[in-house]
Amino acid sequence: MSAVIESHGHDDHHHGPAKGLTRWLYTTNHKDIGSLYLWFSFAMFLIGGAMAMVIRAELFQPGMQIVEPEFYNQMLTLHGLIMVFGAVMPAFVGLANWLVPMMVGAPDMALPRMNNLSFWILPFAFFILLSSLFMEGGAPNFGWTFYAPLSTTYAPPSVTFFIFAVHIMGASSIMGSINVIVTIMNMRAPGMTLMKMPLFVWSWLITAYLLIAVMPVLAGAVTMMLMDIHFGTSFFNAAGGGDPVLFQHIFWFFGHPEVYIMILPAFGIASHIIETFSRKQLFGYASMVWAMASIAILSFVVWAHHMFTVGLPLAAELFFMWATMLIAVPTGVKVFNWVTTMFKGSISYETPMLFAIAFVVLFTIGGFSGLMLAITPADFQYHDTYFVVAHFHYVLVPGSIFSIMAAVYYWIPKWTGNMYDERLGKLHFWLSFIGVNVTFFPQHWIGLAGMPRRVPDYALQFADWNMISSVGAFLFGASQILFMYIVLKTVMGGKKATPQVWEGSRGLEWTVESPAPYHTFTTPPKVN
Amino acid sequence: MNEGSKKTIKTLCFAVLGMFTFSFALVPLYNVFCEVTGLNGKIELRATSNKNIEIDNGRDISIQFVSHNNEEMPWAFKPSEDNIQVKTGKYHTATFYVKNTTNKRMVAQAIPSVAPSNAAAHLKKLECFCFEKQELAPGEEALLPVRLIFDDELPSSINSVVLSYTIFDVTDYNDIEFAQHDSEHHANHEMEPSI
């Protein structure tokens, strides 16, 4: 204990970081907290990925071979929850912590102590969630969408721990987004007007507003579940006058903005990287900002497209179909802007650029399958099939995850002061690119042919493509070990990076040394 | 921290609280929305107060009755007739047969649903067993009446309507107020199940 106090006593605010483990426990430095978020996210990515491997191993052949159906359902549920709330969201918060203050020329986040708190409650949330695997009745087994009454009347007892974990994750996200908004709105360097902000900052400002709007609704939904389970209320229990369909409305009112929370920061990242490696100014900056804002606003009026088959009236199905299709317009604007930025640019294909280009192409494929799903009458065929699985994995894996990997390769020289191994980075990219497509592209076909999602066993005619899909998944999973090796190797050493790192990079974060000093912009820079 | 930051934080905290409240407000909003529009096939669990909607030259409507038992509800529950022909603007009475097949006293609640859902707003009930909870002794059986009318504004595209009842075991919820009826109607429509 005395050591703790001592190291705290030595913590001089004008010099480098404190020594030892307590540095990470007590840190209020945005760069430290950013790193903590990113490492945490990577750990969760590996755990959630291991669960995906269990799923794909079971689906390698028809019939039950490796796990019990009950355990399969738990893997499916935890894989979804961990990837959404443990891997993708914390990774973006980590990137925001590292980059937003440096990009706007602020010395740190606006609320550094809350920043520490919002990170350090996360490991507890996931410890609680994962510990449910060892409880009587097993872990939650109702899918990441936890539809009532599956998650209330028929849930395992561990559902209460799940609810508590979701509450903590929500609190962490809300604190994180308050921090981001206050930093961006009040701590920009003099001269940096809103329309001069880097696009990653814009994307995070909009994302943070979405989080503020919908995370409390998620908290409300799980609170109602808690009350139904333990306090005799009947929000979702038809026997007591409630309505299970109401759960789906509330859940997707949160859930649809949530999917944009997981992609908007990716839009910001892709814009920076494509601009840098095309050695051109980004085409259509203002339209990029407006497109993100319109996507965010539209995300609140499309939730029922997840529920076309619950028996919505025709007018509602038409409204939600057209509103959903409308989102393709601002998304299309963004894709055209990226392509136009690359047009006639002097492009070089370093690893971040490869991931960014793959992001644009594969995310667009995921967007197109989304448009197919938006067609109400067609959706009755696609609903709850592997086509849906293929769709959302295309927008999340080569969408969000590729953008996070691109961001790591792009900014890691700034974080560590060392260049990553370009040869290994490219190898990682190609293995991931091939793995992801081999895994998820065939799922479109088996979905259209009628294979339902969330099943541990399937009819024989789906056997071949499932086996290929599993092989792709093993390849993708294994190649992430290579990613970890590359990152560790870069942290340990490597070719020294210049402050600008990339020939075409621009923005305030590239004006400080590499690695970025522990404290940057203690006196605000002047932006013209 | 400057004043601007404090103001932003305050606004954001209010937004968070507001959205949390909003998530709970969605529950009554959803019910009101469904009741007003008749979406979701939800119909009012109370007797119509407007008794002067009878007319003479109504058109023919076919009603199919459907009965479901929720979860493990053990009672026997089925319509006396599967299908009846009615005219809009005329009252009709239909009955459902119900029997407590267990050896313990149980309480049940029936919840109606109408398809197509845009017919729901035009289906009025003067009395219905769904307005009340039904309590049956072991082995007791009953014929439960519903007296209904379609008003004349029923969309002309609708010629046939499905009226479905799901019966729930509410023995454990017996002390919770269920149907949203006023005490006035409560008195008028108190009815003991009888064969």
Residue B165 burial (CB count, 10 A): 22
Pairing of strands B83-87, B92-99: unpaired
CB contact B111 to A (< 8 Å): yes
CB contact B107 to A (< 8 Å): no
Tell me if A216 and B173 make a contact (CB, 8 A cut-off).
Answer: no
Mark whether A498 is an active-site residue.
no
Closest by Cα among A221, A129, A121 to A175? A121
ipTM of the complex, rounded to two decimals:
0.88
Using only C-alpha atoms, what is the Rg of chain A?
A: 23
pLDDT of residue B175: 54
Q: Provide the strand spans (E) within chain B.
A: 60-69, 76-79, 83-87, 92-99, 106-115, 123-128, 134-136, 141-150, 160-169
Residue numbers in B near A250 (CB within 8 A): 23, 26
Cβ atoms of B48 and B126 closer than 8 Å: yes
pTM reported for the whole predicted model: 0.87
Q: Rounded to 5 degrees, what are φ and ψ at A133?
A: -60, -30
Residue numbers in A near B16 (CB within 8 A): 174, 178, 212, 215-216
Q: Which of B12, B130, B131, B174 to mutate to test the interface with A (most CBs of A within 10 A)?
A: B12
- Domain boundaries, given as residue ranges, for chain B: 3-37, 43-188
pLDDT digits (tens, 9 = 90+) for A419-430: 999 999 999 999
The angle subtended at Cα A169 by Cα B18 and Cα A486, nearest 5°, is 135
- Report residue A462 as tokens: 């789906």
pLDDT band at residue B187 using 50, 70 and 90 as cut-offs: very low
Distances A397 to A111, A170, A379, A415, B194 between C-alpha atoms, Å: 32, 22, 22, 24, 63
Residues of A contacting chain B (CB within 8 angstroms) = 110-111, 153, 174, 178, 181-182, 185-187, 212-217, 219-221, 224, 232, 234-235, 238-241, 243, 245-246, 249-250, 253, 311-313, 316
Alpha-carbon distance A189 to nearest alpha carbon in chain B (angstroms) = 14
Alpha-carbon distance B195 to nearest alpha carbon in chain A (angstroms) = 25
Between CA A434 and CA A442 the distance in angstroms is: 13
| Domain count of the fold of chain A | 1
Q: Which of A152, A185, A248, A310 to mutate to test the interface with B (most CBs of B within 10 A)?
A: A185
Alpha-carbon distance A100 to nearest alpha carbon in chain B (angstroms) = 16
Cβ atoms of B133 and B75 closer than 8 Å: no
Could you write out the three-class secondary structure of A429-467?
HHHHHHHHHHHHHHHHHHHHCCCECCCCCCCHHHHHHHH
Mark whether A108 is an active-site residue.
yes
Share of chain B above pLDDT 90, in %: 22
Q: Cis bond leading into A352, ω under 30°?
A: no
Average pLDDT, whole number, for chain A?
94
pLDDT of residue A11: 44
At the topology level of CATH, where does B43-188 sit? Answer: Ctag/Cox11 (Pfam 04442) (2.60.370)
Which stretches of chain B are DSSP H helices?
Answer: 3-37, 183-188
Q: Is the pLDDT of residue A78 over 90?
A: yes
Q: Is the pLDDT of residue B191 over 70?
A: no
Residue numbers in B near A181 (CB within 8 A): 8, 12
DSSP label of A127: H
CA atoms within 13 A on the CB side of B41: 17
pLDDT digits (tens, 9 = 90+) for A351-399: 999 999 999 999 999 999 999 999 999 999 999 999 999 999 999 999 9
Cα nearest neighbour of A232 on chain B: B173
Tell me if B13 and A178 make a contact (CB, 8 A cut-off).
Answer: yes
Look at residue A520 and tell me if it is in a domain. Answer: no
In terms of residue numbers, what domain contains A77?
31-510
Residue numbers in B near A240 (CB within 8 A): 170, 173, 176, 178
Look at residue A348 and tell me if it is in a domain. Answer: yes
Tell me which residue in A215, A235, A239 faces B170 most closely, judged by beta carbons.
A239
- Report residue B31 as tokens: 């019910």
Tell me if A216 and B20 make a contact (CB, 8 A cut-off).
Answer: yes
pLDDT digits (tens, 9 = 90+) for A10-27: 444 456 788 888 899 999
Of A188, A272, A280, A305, the active-site residue reads A305
Residue bearing the bigger pLDDT, B190 or A405? A405
In three-state secondary structure terms, B71 is coil
Mark whether A158 is an active-site residue.
no
pLDDT digits (tens, 9 = 90+) for A312-362: 888 889 999 999 999 999 999 999 999 999 999 999 999 999 999 999 999
Residue B147's DSSP bridge partners are B93, B127
Q: Which of A246, A252, A258, A320 to mutate to test the interface with B (most CBs of B within 10 A)?
A: A246
- Whichever domain contains A462, its CATH number is 1.20.210.10
A171-209 burial: b if 16+ Cβ within 10 Å, else e = bbbbbbbbbbbbbbbbbbbeebeeeebbbbbbbbbbbbb
pLDDT of residue B48: 66
